[in-house]
């Protein structure tokens, strides 16, 4: 574009940093992207250079800086003061002054006209609540820039003037912004960086002033840890100057970026606020109001949604200033977060800033390298050789033999609680799920590197960085740490970890390994083969973990999964919704002969002298089912073993909310299956990418139900545990349940050490808190 002295916001975008500075360029970019930006104009760097030249200051300033001893603070201060005084005393060119005043006088009219032209009902709604001043109230901000100097946007003092109204006041503050290019800090910074003072210019942003009732800053990542999965918001009452200055401590909120759940609130006491009062701002003392939460939950979510949209627009983490006026959230400015360099998202030695060819959701940590092999059904699992990277639309139990051989797994669908994710974590195989287009983007036999910690897939072989492994002490905790397992060959290795037992031993993978439908064994009168095989596999868990408990969850195959077994189609009906169909407890009651096969296998273990194998009933729906199942178990003789324990899974909302009735019937323990429970409480299919971001165990209603379940068990002195993915992924969920009185948590093998350490610290904090209240 032809260089102009003044431009409206919509006339520039992010490519015009050289003319209007980073701040001005971003405001123009966001206005054009329809974000709620208070409207304004920018006095460009061309106007600044013209002013310095026409006022005859260029040579004077150059001479003062040429003779300056930059390392002498007194001399630096004096030169800075002299230059600023020269600029403030000089007159702006007459033509420039007229242009500035013309833009200023037409600001509200232009804003109204621009947004109406855009036919945006959102902005037209905002216009109804604005006062149309003849001389509008504006904020003035500096924006240092230079076209050919990298990093020059930081080469000037970032100056801001609020509540500016009137022609003379405006022109005066524009010159003060120009003068801010020569503060001591700005001069010394340019000297250190080797910037030519003559080439660094300054643009001035003039923006309609928001009379903030509330204001603050938001980051699209955690600015301390660089956690890219959360949005951090800080808020105060009044104008935003006090949060920038650090005069008051803001409230701190954290929002999950996928589900937009508020996951953390820190409410701070604000003693004073700054408000607009005529031309000058006024400080007002706050009483009880200052101790309240500054933003409503709805306001937090509104800001988080805007922050997320802005980050998506820029494809880079953003640092954003926002304000609320008349219940409307405005974005005042946005800039890239500049503190990412110290955070390693990837423990890989990448060359030439290599970018991933595919990004999905991190599902199982670690790095996997190998040739890609794409398969679309279990019939193709023979294509997978040891060391291959398995690529598939999704997986189910039939893929397990191939998954065991893989160096890494990538699926196009699914979330962190999908089959591929759960099994990969148990096998210790790096995995990325929900990587859309994986089977098209990746080619067969293409060498790729999969980072299961970040969800990234790279072309070629990338060297793994050497990283010192942390040594985990054998910490002692009152809350037991159990492990979720499924593969017999993993049992011995995992049993050597600092773990208190198996809180969830899944039957499905053992049954899949047998490969034949249980009813086929019954039909052929070969029940003993099934029983012996299952007992043999169970012993592979029970032996290494003895005397630590192993809680075996009875088979929870759905009909579609059973149909994949040999003979399955003969015995299994077709269901439109197997997830809510013929499964779990109701199946055992309907087909007690199949359930008895599992009970006989368990009895075989007890008859060998082991006393640590217990039974957990999955997907139970009503109290009468528990009564009936207990009678079946009674007939099997398992209750004759006094140390035998019966647990149930709490994964159906009706069980969670009616738990007392189940406890009255008599059970020894419960384990909360957060995966299915959350899915049914929220009405969300966690494996459906179209809605999976809504799925979150930290949703308040889910947390309330979890807490109720644990406290109800405590009331009846019944063991309570949690075995869903939430225990492995969310420390805040674990902490809430420990505070409620949960007796154990069961996690994936990769989470044992960090969960033990987490629990240790939570319990330590609880003990300290209790001692203080004595």
d(CA 237, CA 244): 13
d(CA 271, CA 108): 35
Q: Percent helix, strand and coil across the chain, each rounded to 5?
A: 45, 20, 35
Structure tokens at 118: 């855009």
d(CA 119, CA 288): 43
The answer to whether 716 and 662 have CB atoms below 8 angstroms apart is no
Q: Is 154 exposed, middle or buried (0-12, 13-18, 19+ CB in 10 A)?
A: middle
Q: At what angle do helices 488-495 and 527-545 cross, to 10 degrees?
A: 10
Q: List strand residue ranges (DSSP E) for 313-384, in order.
A: 318-325, 328-336, 348-349, 358-359, 361-364, 367-374
The answer to whether 439 and 376 have CB atoms below 8 angstroms apart is yes
The answer to whether 505 and 550 have CB atoms below 8 angstroms apart is yes
Q: How far is CA 736 from CA 599, 652, 706, 727, in A?
A: 35, 21, 9, 11
Residues annotated as catalytic are: 419, 723
CA 420-424-429 angle, to 5 degrees, is 135
3-state secondary structure 96-138: HHHHHHHHHHCHHHHHHHHHHHCCCHHHHHHHCCCCCCCCCCE
Q: List strand residue ranges (DSSP E) for 174-285, in order.
A: 201-208, 214-219, 230-237, 251-256, 262-266, 272-277, 280-285
Closest CA to 183 of 155, 163, 209: 155
Sign of CA dihedral 67, 72, 76, 79: negative
Strands 367-374 and 447-451: antiparallel
d(CA 315, CA 99): 36
Closest CA to 214 of 274, 130, 124, 280: 274
Which residue reads 């010394």 in tokens? 188
d(CA 461, CA 464): 9
Cross-strand bridge partners of residue 389: 372, 408
The answer to whether 367 and 348 have CB atoms below 8 angstroms apart is yes
Which residue reads 């500035």 in tokens? 100
H or E stretch including 517?
Answer: none
Closest CA to 14 of 304, 330, 302, 333: 333
Strands 138-145 and 201-208: antiparallel
Structure tokens at 30: 């966001």
Q: Which residues of 156-183 are buried (b: 16+ CB within 10 A; e: fewer)?
A: bbbbbbbbbbeeebbbebbbbbbbbbbb
């Amino acid at each position: 574009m032809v260089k102009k002295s003044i431009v409206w916001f919509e006339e520039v975008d992010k490519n015009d940093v050289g003319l209007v500075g980073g701040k001005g360029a971003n405001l123009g970019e966001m206005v054009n992207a329809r974000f709620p930006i208070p409207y304004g104009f920018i006095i460009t760097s061309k106007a600044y250079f013209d002013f310095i030249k026409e006022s005859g200051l260029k040579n004077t300033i150059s001479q003062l800086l040429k003779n300056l001893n930059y390392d002498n603070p007194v001399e630096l201060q004096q030169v800075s003061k002299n230059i600023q005084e020269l600029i403030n005393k000089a007159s702006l060119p007459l033509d420039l002054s007229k242009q500035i005043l013309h833009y200023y006088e037409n600001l509200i009219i232009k804003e109204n006209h621009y947004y109406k032209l855009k036919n945006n009902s959102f902005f037209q709604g905002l216009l109804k609540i604005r006062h149309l001043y003849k001389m509008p109230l504006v904020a003035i901000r500096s924006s240092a820039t230079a076209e050919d100097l990298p990093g020059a946007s930081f080469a000037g003092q970032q100056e801001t003037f609020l509540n500016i109204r009137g022609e003379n006041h405006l022109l005066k503050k524009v010159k003060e912004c120009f003068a801010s290019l020569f503060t001591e800090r700005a001069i010394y910074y340019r000297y250190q960086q080797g910037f030519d003072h003559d080439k660094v210019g300054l643009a001035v942003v003039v923006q309609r002033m928001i009379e903030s009732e509330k204001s603050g800053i938001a980051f699209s990542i955690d600015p301390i840890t660089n956690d890219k999965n959360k949005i951090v918001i800080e808020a105060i009452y009044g104008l935003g100057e006090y949060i920038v200055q650090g005069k008051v401590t803001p409230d701190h909120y954290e929002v999950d970026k996928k589900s937009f759940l508020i996951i953390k609130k820190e409410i701070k006491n604000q003693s004073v606020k700054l408000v607009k009062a005529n031309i000058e701002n006024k400080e007002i003392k706050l009483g009880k109001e200052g101790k309240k939460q500054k933003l409503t939950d709805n306001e937090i979510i509104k800001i988080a949604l805007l922050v997320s949209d802005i980050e998506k627009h820029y494809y880079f983490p953003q640092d954003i200033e926002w304000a609320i006026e008349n219940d409307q959230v405005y974005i005042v400015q946005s800039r890239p977060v500049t503190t990412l360099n110290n955070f390693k998202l990837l423990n890989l030695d990448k060359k030439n800033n290599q970018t991933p060819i595919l990004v999905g959701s991190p599902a199982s940590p670690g790095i996997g390298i190998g040739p890609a092999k794409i398969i679309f059904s279990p019939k193709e699992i023979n294509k997978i050789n040891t060391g291959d990277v398995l690529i598939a639309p999704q997986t189910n139990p039939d893929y397990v033999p191939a998954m065991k051989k893989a160096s890494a797994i990538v699926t196009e669908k699914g979330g962190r609680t999908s089959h591929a994710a759960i099994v990969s974590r148990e096998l210790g195989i790096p995995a990325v799920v929900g990587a859309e287009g994986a089977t098209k983007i990746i080619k067969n036999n293409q060498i790729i590197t999969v980072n299961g910690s970040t969800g990234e897939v790279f072309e070629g072989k990338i060297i793994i960085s050497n990283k010192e492994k942390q040594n985990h002490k054998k910490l002692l905790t009152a809350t037991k740490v159990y492990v979720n397992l499924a593969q017999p060959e993993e049992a011995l290795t995992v049993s050597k970890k600092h773990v208190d037992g198996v809180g969830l031993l899944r039957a499905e993978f053992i049954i899949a390994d047998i490969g034949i439908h249980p009813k086929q064994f019954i039909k052929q009168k070969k029940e003993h083969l099934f029983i012996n095989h299952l007992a043999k596999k169970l012993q592979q868990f029970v032996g290494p973990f003895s005397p630590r408990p192993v809680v075996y969850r009875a088979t929870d195959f759905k009909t579609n999964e059973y149909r994949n077994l040999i003979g399955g189609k003969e015995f299994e009906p077709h269901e439109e919704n197997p997830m809510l169909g013929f499964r779990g407890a109701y199946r055992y009651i309907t087909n007690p002969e199949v359930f008895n096969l599992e009970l006989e296998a368990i009895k075989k273990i007890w008859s060998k002298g082991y006393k640590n194998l217990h039974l957990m009933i999955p997907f139970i729906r009503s109290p009468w089912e528990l009564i009936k199942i207990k009678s079946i178990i009674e007939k099997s003789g398992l209750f004759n073993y006094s140390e035998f324990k019966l647990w149930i899974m709490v994964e159906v909302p009706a069980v969670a909310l009616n738990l007392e009735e189940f406890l009255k019937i008599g059970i020894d323990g419960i384990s909360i299956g957060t995966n299915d429970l959350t899915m049914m409480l929220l009405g969300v299919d966690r494996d459906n990418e179209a809605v999976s971001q809504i799925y979150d165990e930290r949703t308040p209603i889910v947390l309330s139900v979890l807490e109720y379940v644990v406290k109800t068990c405590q009331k009846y002195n019944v063991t309570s545990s949690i075995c869903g993915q939430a225990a492995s992924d969310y420390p805040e969920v674990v902490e809430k349940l420990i505070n409620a009185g949960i007796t154990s948590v069961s996690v994936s093998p990769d989470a044992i050490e960090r969960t033990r350490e987490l629990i240790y610290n939570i319990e330590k904090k609880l003990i300290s808190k209790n001692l203080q209240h004595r």
